[in-house]
A = this chain, B = another copy of it.
Amino acid sequence: MSNYNSILIAVDFSEASEQVISRGLLTASQNHASTFLVHVVEHLPPIDFGYEPLSSPDWYNNEEEIIKHAEKNIIALAKKHAIPVSHARVLSGSPKHEIIQFAKDNNIDLIVIGSHGRHGLQRLLGSTAYPVLHNASCDALAVRIKE
């Protein structure tokens, strides 16, 4: 059994991301692995303007703006944690699909991802960790978020 070579840390920019990054970086250091930091901007559901023309905020359908904002965030996060900026990426689409595809394309052998609790809002929001684990072709470390 050999060390991991390339670790992908998936973050959602919540406070919990710090816990996921810390565990990912410690694991990378223990394995002498390179690290990628990835955030996925989810596609937004279309708004029915005929039905509710006044309630959609300006930025809502401007995916370009959202991605730009996310790119600023991921670069700041990478710098804060001494991850090379070239390894900080924003993807867009389904988090599960994008994370799994990125892992394949970049020969990732470990995905580190936050796993939310069973109760309250975090459960309602769902967890990306679950489908990633089930479908990834590499190992996956689910970091239990301390609530």
Chain B residues, Cβ within 8 Å of A26: 1, 3
CB distance from A59 to the nearest CB of B (A): 33
Contact, CB under 8 Å: A133 / B139 = no
Interface range for A: 20 to 34
Chain B residues, Cβ within 8 Å of A134: 115, 118, 127, 130
Q: Copies per complex?
A: 2
Interface 1/0 per residue, A102-146 and B, CB below 8 Å? 000000000000010010000000010110011111111111100
- Give Cα A140–Cα B142 distance, bound, in whole angstroms: 5
A5 interface hit (Cβ, 8 Å): no
A61 interface hit (Cβ, 8 Å): no
Q: Which of B1, B135, B141 contacts A139 (CB 8 A)?
A: B141
Q: Which of B129, B137, B143 contacts A144 (CB 8 A)?
A: B137
Contact, CB under 8 Å: A136 / B144 = yes
Interface 1/0 per residue, A67-95 and B, CB below 8 Å? 00000000000000000000000000000
Chain B residues, Cβ within 8 Å of A19: 1
Q: Which of B31, B115, B118, B133 contacts A129 (CB 8 A)?
A: B133
Contact, CB under 8 Å: A23 / B139 = yes
Complex A-B: 5 CB contacts under 8 Å:
A1-B19, A1-B22, A129-B133, A137-B144, A141-B142
